[in-house]
A and B are shown apart, each in its own frame.
Chain A
Amino acid sequence: MSRLEKQITETNEQVFTAEFPVIDGEGMAKVEKYAKRLAPWFDGVNATDNTAAHAHASNVASSIAMKMYGLEPIMQVVCRDKNRLAQQADVVGATLHGVENFVALTGDDVTAGDETETRRVFDLDGPQLVRLMASIKNGQYLSGRKIEPAPHMFIGAVENPGAPPFEYRVQRVAKKMAAGAKFFQLQICYHKDRLEKFMQGLEALGLSKRVAILPTIVLISGPRALNFMHSNVPGIDVPDAVIKEVENASDKKEAAYLQTLDFARHALALPGVRGLHVTDFRHDETLERLMTDLGRKARPVNTTKEENAHSLTVS
């Protein structure tokens, strides 16, 4: 059982996950640097899968590297780039190295990336990918061919509480739960009322009691990032008032931080919210500040490669 699964299923503690930065040839030095930064604060860290349709070091390779430096990887798998055969190979291949946490996403379209001439695959969709992972967890490829012993897996999914059709998003969580998802990382939502309604919907159906719901918050440096997300990321709408709040402040950087803290506190106070997923675009001291302001305590972790190497083979 992964550390993350244990914490979610066997305790009532809050759960914090984060996004690992993409890796483009900076080598293990970058992995080590960010492992040191993230490991004391987070219960699991996402290895992204060609995020925003840009090619990077792969989800599988990144997950293994993160594990080497003491991080608890959560391997994202998207449907955009690979068919079901390749997806199964990646998941089973990652479990070979002791990766246990997975999160299934449909994935941004190729039009979000820098190689828009690419063929989009989408052989499976998000909920189908969740069930494919559940099948592997049961010890079978999709075909029924056995995987013995069945690998340890903890499967998660995503949902966007801030995109239409709003009422239906709750049903989509139910569908992904039926497919086998045990935790949910939500898309960043700058409409507090939408997140509230979404959580109320989950609560009403008793869904948030059965799975961990982790809304996302994003650490940004100023109004530029808000404007960028609003104009360039389909599915994210940033209300004018939210942008103006940062834009009109005399200290924009500080205002951006305080706004993030406010969104974080708001989300954590909602019934059914188990913790947060944090994306850090600032890469400065505010990550520690945020976690401290939220009452989290850094825990001692070992991020030296040699000490963790054995955990790759013994899981």
Chain B
Amino acid sequence: MPKLLPLIEHVVKGPVWDCQMCGQCVLHSTGMTCPMNCPKTLRNGPCGGVRENGHCEVKPEMKCVWLKGYERSESWPLPKVWKEEFNHLRPPVDNRLKGDSSWINFFTKRDRWVPKGWAKAAEEEQH
């Protein structure tokens, strides 16, 4: 089962969302656009290099992943909570989860683990 599920997830999410199997899926909060397709793998919005035509700094032939995500988040009929999450600060990628099924990591809450220093800094900022 643990080996089968990542395979199923990859088969389902690969062709539709170009899933990169980071194992900590945030697709719902990024306008149903996988940020791991950003050549800089940015998880918190577009960099400053977005071209005048909305295309990517690194791959000029490709539309900016984040511009796409932003437009979808604004215009697609997604749940309100998902849309609000668009602006959330997403923590650094946990590289141990690469290749895992994000579905399992979601249900076990493994994908919500953050380093202690990150959690503490988040607390401090709220005060």
Interface positions of A (Cβ within 8 A of B)? 79-80, 84, 106, 108-109, 111-112, 120, 122-128, 131-132, 134-136, 138, 140-145, 158-160, 163-165, 168, 171-172, 174-175, 178-180, 187, 234-235, 237
Contact with A along B64-98 (1 / 0, CB 8 A): 10110011000000000000000101111100000
A134/B52 in contact, CB under 8 A = no
Q: Does more than half of chain B's interface fall in helix, strand or loop, or is it mixed? A: loop
Q: Which residues of A contact B93 (CB under 8 A)?
A: 123
B115/A111 in contact, CB under 8 A = no
A163/B50 in contact, CB under 8 A = yes
Q: Which of B11-19, B99-107, B119-127 faces chain A?
A: B119-127
Interface positions of B (Cβ within 8 A of A)? 39-52, 54, 57-58, 60, 64, 66-67, 70-71, 87, 89-93, 115-118, 120-122, 124-125
B58/A168 in contact, CB under 8 A = no
Q: Which residues of A contact B89 (CB under 8 A)?
A: 127-128, 131, 175, 178-179
CB distance from A56 to the nearest CB of B (A): 20
A128/B48 in contact, CB under 8 A = no
In the complex, which residue of chain A has the Cβ closest to the Cβ of B91? A128
Q: Which residues of B contact A79 (CB under 8 A)?
A: 40
B87/A235 in contact, CB under 8 A = no
Q: Contacts A134-B121, A138-B120, A142-B115 known; A165 to B46 CB distance under 8 Å? A: yes
Q: Which residues of B contact A134 (CB under 8 A)?
A: 121, 124-125
Complex Cα distance, B68 from A164, in Å, reads 11
10 closest Cβ pairs, A-B complex: A144-B116, A160-B48, A135-B117, A234-B57, A234-B49, A140-B117, A135-B121, A127-B44, A142-B117, A125-B42
Q: Contacts A128-B44, A128-B91 known; A164 to B121 CB distance under 8 Å? A: no
Q: Which residues of B contact A159 (CB under 8 A)?
A: 48
Residue in A111, A126, A144, A168 whose beta carbon sits within 8 Å of that of B117 in the complex: A144
B121/A235 in contact, CB under 8 A = no
Complex Cα distance, B120 from A227, in Å, reads 46
Complex Cα distance, B90 from A112, in Å, reads 27
Residue in B39, B116, B117, B125 whose beta carbon sits within 8 Å of that of A109 in the complex: B39
B57/A109 in contact, CB under 8 A = yes
B48/A165 in contact, CB under 8 A = no
Complex Cα distance, B52 from A122, in Å, reads 23
Among A106, A136, A138, find the residue whose CB has the most chain B CB atoms closer than 10 A: A106
Complex Cα distance, B115 from A174, in Å, reads 22
Complex Cα distance, B64 from A138, in Å, reads 35
Complex Cα distance, B25 from A145, in Å, reads 28
Complex Cα distance, B55 from A163, in Å, reads 10
A122/B41 in contact, CB under 8 A = yes
CB distance from A189 to the nearest CB of B (A): 10
CB distance from A276 to the nearest CB of B (A): 18
Among B45, B51, B66, B90, find the residue whose CB has the most chain A CB atoms closer than 10 A: B45
B49/A122 in contact, CB under 8 A = no
Q: Contacts A111-B58, A175-B89 known; A135 to B118 CB distance under 8 Å? A: yes
